[in-house]
Structure 1
Amino acid sequence: MHTWNHARPTIPRPVDARRVAHMSGRQTLHTHLFGPDEADTPIVVALHGLTGHGKRWSFLAAEHLPDVRIVAPDLLGHGASSWEPPWAIADHVAALSAALDDHVPAGRRAVVLAHSYGGAIAIRLAHARPDVVSGLVLLDPAQGLHPATAREYAESSLAHWGYPDAAAAAAAKRMEGWAEVPDHILDAEIADHLVATDSGVQWRVSTPGAAVAWSEMAREFVLPPAGLPTHVVVADRVEPPFVGPDFLAACAADRSESVTVHHVDTEHMVPFLVPGEVAGLVRDLL
């Protein structure tokens, strides 16, 4: 595994990436790269969800897709990517488009694998870059949320943003859809993504950026581009669901030739809970 912009900050603000963004005039993404880098290696661009980071995909890469080149950026306001605003979906798409140019060779195409909020971004990225995106695997994509639900989630998450210590952070994760995630994955999340603050610890995520993300998820949903092969995975234990019935109905009515919907009996952290199934869907599009 290789990484770019490798320096790690000691407080939950990626200072180096912010400096680069200011100097270059664009928002930059810290990008994790997994797997072989041969001319004929298939490429997957993997997008995490809100409060996540690109290194989360290392387990899927190593255990289920070792022969695939996986390009996994930290989204804006996450990890070691730029924390400078703006943080709207359109800004994520612009930054990711630049990452595609950096990591997908000219003339090559890539499947985009995305979880949760990353799914909402991935659909817009597919519309913006049809020259690169060859298919979508959307894991419990979060878009088109009812405004009251998005506000409730935003206010709750911001009210409980930090933790006194790592044990409290881990316990909170277990209550937020991570109950059945394997211990070694949660341990890695703590080691890779939790940072010290003056009052305890918090995830390496911009607080105002997270608030904006919940607002963006309340925007009207967007369908994948017509004709683009797409797998949508719905986590059936999530209540209220992130994948709404109106989106599924629109897919059935307007994208039946290209969108396939799959249901899994899991909580929201689909990449960790059914990784074999996820890898199978990726390979289907590769």
Structure 2
Amino acid sequence: MSIPEQQQQVPGTDQAMDPKPDYGEGSYRGSGRLTGKVALLTGADSGIGKAVALAFAREGADVAVVYLSEHTDAQETARFIEEAGRTSLLIPTDLADPDNCREAVRQTVEQFGRIDVLVHNAAYQMTRETLDEIPDDEWDHTLAVNLSAYFHLVKAAVPQMPSGASIIATSSVQADTPTPELLPYAVTKAGIANMTASLAQMLADKGIRANAVAPGPVWTPLIPSTMPPEKVEDFGTQVPLGRAGQPAELAPVYVMLASDEASYISGAVIPVTGGKPFL
């Protein structure tokens, strides 16, 4: 996949990406692995979350799509879900506010009655060359969206989750081998992996599993909206497979972790890195 130089404003939209990411529209085939389940996905308007929403719906799940403000992207996600014969719920909100995390859970439960799968995938990052360039409010915002929201969502959702439910967080290869220019983001991704390990132990007696996925370089709107154009152009070429991953290539891992087939998998961090070693 050839990626030309390009730049967007934060948070970015997949409608302006060249090439547009592959969400599995023409390739993902469901087999009923999530039939009847209810999933709440954050950051599901685009990127990995959008591919996961599509896959979950084609596997039989109804999906609540939580996103910031990219309405056109989110409406396409809803279309993917509804074309699969499932029900979508769009929840535009800023997860940096703990009250909004709780409200997203409340709306999902009001619509669907429970939550079987909680996926926290929403994230913020920004490239900064030096420590002095990182504004204090950017540090706080990155931790709030990426890490604190995970805590607030889980705390609100667990009382609404039955035994056998699944929590999945998006960590990153940055948790293990951080890029210094992404310092706040890398810190949150390490924290997500650590929190997931704690949750797996804390929630085991409730029959709730907690796992994380650690992507390597994946072609999402986060990249052209937070990296310099010259870094976008060679994004992903540094991993052994020599290219960035597509969101569609991540979705099957989330499906597996959400399904009953993963009933003995909890506390795991599964790398999907294009061959880059993790841990």
TM-score interval (norm. to shorter): 0.3 to 0.5
TM-score, normalised by the number of residues in structure 1: 0.39
